[in-house]
Chains A and B, each alone.
Chain A
Amino acid sequence: MFGYVKAFRPELKGKDYDVYQGVYCSLCRRLGHDYGLLARLTLNYDFALLALARLSVAEECCGFEAGRCSFNPTKKCLNCVGGAEQLAFAAAAAMIMCYYKVRDNIADERSLFKRLAFRLIRPYFSLKRKKAMKQYPQIDEIIAEAMRDQAQTEQSRTTGIDAAAHPSAQAMSRLLTMGLQTEKPETLERFGYLVGRWVYLTDALDDCEKDRKSGSYNVFNLKYEKEEEKKEAAAGAIRLTAAGLGECFEALKPKRFGAILENIIQFGMENTLNNVLKK
């Protein structure tokens, strides 16, 4: 489900790409530092975006220094100096999200073997979640509420695209704005909302086939019957969200990392969508 929001490298300037990788690497480092080696494996670009977006509007500036990746010491990368608060936040959100994802999978997974595997790793994530919760209890509240709302929406089997995406969108909006003092809180809220909406809809489109086979809830499967029509409508809804996000980004005028965020919205999202459509 994760890793949809990525920058599109061919259109990104070298310096911006280094910074983007640097934030990603620093988040990985932070995960390792706070939650141990195994936690690093849960790293993905969606949470890198959360860190990046929070850093881009935060008061304190984060600098970079040259360093090396500890998994692959031949690879050089930048390390964030400062900005620890935002990175720790994103790491905590990632851990808590993973816990809920594992819990969800235990409930949904049909294959006995996979369910057993998820059961085995659950205590590990439960432990990490408790640690993250100690520092950021609100994150857990936000995600737990989103999960509850999502379950409710799925039970109602609504065919409304907006209603289906709302819980995820709202959770992302809250995660992005939590504890940040900015000049334009409403714009940032909307930015988060649309990012969450985009991720939800793209995930839904990606899972169409799988959900149809397993009979799970999927808003696009319920709303459209013909395969062609479904894909076109879903792609339209996703692009419409990206366009709204772009407008919102222009109004946001982030303090830094503007070029990277713009690249993600303009090219990265379109690229991901095309990959999903091609599948």
Chain B
Amino acid sequence: MNPYEVLGLAPGAGDAQVKAAYKAKARLFANDPAQMREIDRAYDEIVMNQMGGGYAPPNDSYAQSGVSLGEVRAKINAGRIDEADSLLENMPVTLRSAEWYYLKGTVQHRKGWLEDAAQNFERAAQMEPNNAEFRRASDTVRQNRSAGYRTEDPSKKNDGCLHCSACDMCSGLLCADCCCECMGGDLIPCC
């Protein structure tokens, strides 16, 4: 589809017009990842064409932008948040995958920009609903939103050792006896 049509513009529209149209569309479809991808792709295509040279949106690799998300992750883990952020910002809009949004959210979370981070986690989880990492991040946010800070209930903290009542001990012994009898031995001679 013609990128100008996607943004609802006449072919050859000016820079400012394209930008304004992109912003308006993005706001309209902020909650629809499929539409957003389409709009992003159209915008990038127009911008790249204006800069001269044909531009075909690559499908899956980050090779063209010269940085990988692995590098971003390494920087985040090393605590170099600003560097990670500038790496992320330098990636073209079309190349932004679910993981990109997740990492962007992580960076914002570390900076204390919790609302923007929450939005990006949510978006990552929407784009790849089966990814456990993204889903965990967005679930945690949702939980914290409704509950705030909660420490674990101290009465439940000692659950490491199983409840061991007299009943449990008896049934345990009976079980052990059964096992012994299966193997030809006997633990409790009277039964």
Contacts and interface: CB of A to CB of B under 8 A. Distances in A.
Nearest to A238: B148
A62 to B, nearest CB: 26
Nearest to B79: A186
B53 to A, nearest CB: 35
Counting chain A CB atoms within 10 Å of each CB, the highest count among B109, B114, B116, B149 belongs to: B149
Interface stretch (A29-37, A45-53, A190-198, A208-216): A190-198
B141 interface: yes
Contacts of B149: 242-243, 245-247, 265-266, 269-270
A25 interface: no
Contacts of B79: 186
Contact of B114 (A162, A262, A265): A162
B63 interface: no
B116 A239 contact: no
Contact of A237 (B108, B115, B150): B115
A262 B113 contact: no
A239 B114 contact: no
Interface string B140-159: 01001111111100000000
A243 B115 contact: no
Given A162-B114, A197-B112, A266 B144 contact: no
Contact of B145 (A166, A194, A240, A273): A240
B141 to A, nearest CB: 7
Contacts, number: 62
A161 interface: yes
B84 interface: no
Given A186-B79, A266-B150, A243 B144 contact: yes
Interface in B19-52: none
B103 interface: no
B61 to A, nearest CB: 32
B112 A193 contact: yes
A244 interface: yes
Given A239-B144, A239-B146, A246 B151 contact: yes
A-side binding surface: helix, strand, loop or mixed?
helix
Interface in B109-148: 109, 112-116, 118, 141, 144-148
Contacts of B144: 239-240, 243-244
B141 A240 contact: yes
Contacts of A169: 112
Contact of A240 (B108, B114, B150, B151): B114
Contacts of B115: 160-162, 237, 240
A182 B79 CA distance: 18
A67 B3 CA distance: 76
Contact of A160 (B109, B112, B116, B151): B116
A236 interface: yes
Counting chain B CB atoms within 10 Å of each CB, the highest count among A162, A240, A266 belongs to: A240
Contacts of B141: 240
Interface in A160-175: 160-162, 166, 169
A129 to B, nearest CB: 28
A241 interface: yes
B121 to A, nearest CB: 11
Contacts of B118: 240
A243 B113 contact: no
A112 B115 CA distance: 39
A50 to B, nearest CB: 18
A107 B148 CA distance: 36
Counting chain B CB atoms within 10 Å of each CB, the highest count among A193, A236, A245 belongs to: A236
B148 A269 contact: yes
B112 A236 contact: no
Given A160-B116, A240-B145, A242-B148, 16 more contacts: A162-B116, A190-B112, A194-B112, A197-B112, A237-B114, A237-B145, A240-B114, A240-B118, A241-B114, A243-B148, A244-B144, A246-B150, A247-B149, A265-B149, A266-B149, A266-B150
Which 3 residue pairs are nearest across A and B when measured between Cβ atoms? A246-B149, A243-B144, A239-B148
Interface of B: 79, 108-109, 112-116, 118, 141, 144-151
6 contacts: A166-B113, A169-B112, A237-B115, A240-B145, A243-B148, A262-B151
